[in-house]
Amino acid sequence: MDYQRSNGHSVSRLTAHLVWVTKYRFPVLEGDIKLRCRSILLQICEAEDIRILKGVVSKDHVHMHIEYRPNQDISTLVKLFKGRSSRKLQVEFPELKQRYWGRHFWAIGFGCWSTGNITDEMLNTYLEHHRNPTDQDQSNFIIE
């Protein structure tokens, strides 16, 4: 692991791949709007102590691979990303009102996938080593 967060109570490296789309998948993230969207998301990440491992602002959606603190939750982070960026983009670019009359810039919902440096198979193999070979209980929740 090349980077871990640590404080007095925990050590972690929590990462996720997030995706969300513009309402109706309209391709409005172009030119200055695309650049401003990126800068807003960068500002949010800096303010909330979120590391962007990689990100893409496409014409109708955003991908972000992020690393976040253990006391943060994904749904709150996405709400921050979508809410703040929507509000600021619509204020700074009044032409967006031609497409979005109800003040909703992003579509409802988002995609989220956890990421990491080990696979499920690797973790399960490691945990299986804690099973006593003479134990008859074959439960997935092992008592060592």
What is residue 144's predicted lDDT score, i.e. its pLDDT? 67
CA dist., res. 22 & res. 12, Å (int): 32
CA distance 134 to 109: 48
Look up residue 8 and give its DSSP letter.
Answer: S
How many angstroms separate the CA atoms of 123 and 117, rounded? Answer: 10
Which parts of the chain have pLDDT scores under 50? 1
Return the pLDDT at 2.
64
pLDDT for 133: 81
With H, G, I as helix, E, B as strand and everything else as coil, classify residue 66: strand
Q: Which run of H or of E encompasses 44? A: helix 31-47
3-class DSSP assignment, residue 91: helix
14: helix, strand or coil: strand
